[in-house]
Amino acid sequence: MPDQRLNYISGEWCESHTGETFETTDPAIPGDVVATYPESDAEDTERAINAAREASGGWGTTPGPERGRILARTGSLLEERKDELTELLVREEGKTRSEAGGEVQRAIDIFRYYGSKASDIGGTIKSPSARDTKLYTKTEPLGVAGLITPWNYPIAIPAWKIAPALAAGNAVVIKPATLAPGVVHEMASALEEAGLPDGVINVVTGPGSEVGETIAGHEAVDAVSFTGSTAVGNTVYDTATEDGKRVQLEMGGKNPTVVSDTADVDKAARIVASGAFGVTGQACTATSRAIVHEDVYDEFVDAVVDRAAAIEHGHGLDDPSMGPHVSESELESTLEYVDIARDEGATLEYGGSTLDREGYFVEPAVFSGVDSEMRIAQEEVFGPVLAVLPVGDFDEALAVANDVDYGLSASVVTDDHTEANRFAEEIEAGVVKINEKTTGVELHVPFGGVKDSSSETYREQGDAGLDFYSISKTVYDNY
């Protein structure tokens, strides 16, 4: 029987006042219902926001080390339940067991990291110009943080928003994505067990048009952090900034890997295939374009096709090379882009078809003969589809790499140190990698993009994550 899950508001698990629910299903077995959740509306969301507002004062004045101990304890509780969380993530989102387990471990590490950082939050002492005076700063929480998170990293992204918000002393209202909200409920349970006071975290499930819009526009919410599509993110930004909220957006990408003529082609193909086809291509940092020097182009295409053809599909719990798309609509979107690329004249070298089995499975697709004007080279696909573009030299490669509206992650594979340095300096991206895939980020350094990939306001993760959820007060004490 499917789990019957509830909202978490003011320390209590409760139904939506509407009484309506929605289901999550296993994308590898679409008829298998995993859980039911409240289909909440604006009234439920307002209850959660008010609970957070009421709890924010007490939590904001809780000493940082005490807040940190609760976060660290949460990490330990999540670790005790890692296998359970991994299986739940697989069944709702579709990742392979290895991918899901790695994501759960990231959430564990994030809570431990911010648990330790909470003790260092305070301020700085400065030297005043006058005698008999103290001059110092105090770091304080904003109040209530509203978080809107996506389905593709359903525990890692909520963790890297929740943990710094709580470490900084804010109360939280989070709307997890309706396709895979279960692991956020489990995080709330772990935080409750770890000793988080009632109302400091509140979880409300339901549609973005009701829950997300209420979070973004409510006057009692002080900051909004959103991860998702650029179109939705821009709407959230417009709503949230009407009354001056602090806003952080991380959105889409069209991430390139440049392959130099100096590169080891087999190594380059391995790096690109891993970035393009890992997590079924459902990552904002996934490698969507391989921009390859013409001298090694044909060899590279053959090598990356071999990598694509070697991928084995299956239910994530069996830990294959690739799991399904998260939903039928996401699968249909990928198939539509395969058709668009063909219609525009790109050559389908491999894949791009559904599998003759139950579930939302698709072969990874590799297109050659792509030019930068094609939609397949400009628009985010969010599936395992790789466009391979030929270029004549490194200058052209840089120009093509930057010839998109997005600027999230980018990498270069080269044995030329000058090319590596130029790439780091000239690429228009918030994350730059040399001889690595575009996916995968460290939790203790800033993460975010430029152009249409980000609001370009605040970064996430590391100290930057704390900066977003904090504000500085300067004190002049003439004693």
Do 246 and 271 lie in a common domain?
Answer: no
Read off the pLDDT of residues 424-459 as tens digits, 9 standing for 90 and up. 999 999 999 999 999 999 999 999 999 999 999 999
Which pLDDT score is estimated for 3?
A: 87
> Considering the domain boundaries, does residue 441 fall inside one?
no
Which pLDDT score is estimated for 386?
A: 98
Tell me: pLDDT of 1 over 80.
no
Read off the pLDDT of residues 246-262 as tens digits, 9 standing for 90 and up. 999 999 999 999 999 99
Q: Strand 246-250 relative to strand 21-26: parallel, antiparallel, unpaired?
A: unpaired
Do 318 and 423 lie in a common domain?
Answer: yes
Do 261 and 247 lie in a common domain?
Answer: no
The residues that are catalytic are 250
| Helix and strand counts by DSSP (H, E) for the chain | 14, 22
Read off the pLDDT of residues 272-325 as tens digits, 9 standing for 90 and up. 999 999 999 999 999 999 999 999 999 999 999 999 999 999 999 999 999 999
Tell me: pLDDT of 339 over 80.
yes
Do 135 and 170 lie in a common domain?
Answer: yes
Do 208 and 294 lie in a common domain?
Answer: no
The mean pLDDT of the chain is 97
Give the position of tokens 């698709």. 362
Q: For residue 389, what are the domain limits?
A: 255-434
> Considering the domain boundaries, does residue 19 fall inside one?
yes
Which pLDDT score is estimated for 2?
A: 84
What is the total count of domains within the chain? 2
**In which order are the strands placed within the sheet that holds 3-4?**
3-4, 29-38, 21-26
Tell me: pLDDT of 363 over 90.
yes
Do 181 and 227 lie in a common domain?
Answer: yes
Do 275 and 420 lie in a common domain?
Answer: yes
Encoded tokens for 79: 């670790």
CATH number of the domain to which 223 belongs: 3.40.605.10
Tell me: pLDDT of 115 over 90.
yes
Which pLDDT score is estimated for 10?
A: 98
Which of 375, 306, 311 is closest to 340 using CA atoms?
375
CA 125 to chain centre: 36
DSSP 3-state of 139: strand
Task: Give the mean model confidence (pLDDT) for residues 146-156.
Answer: 98
Which pLDDT score is estimated for 258?
A: 98
pLDDT > 90 in the chain, percent: 99
Which pLDDT score is estimated for 380?
A: 97
Query: What pLDDT band is residue 264 in, cutting at 50, 70 and 90?
Result: very high
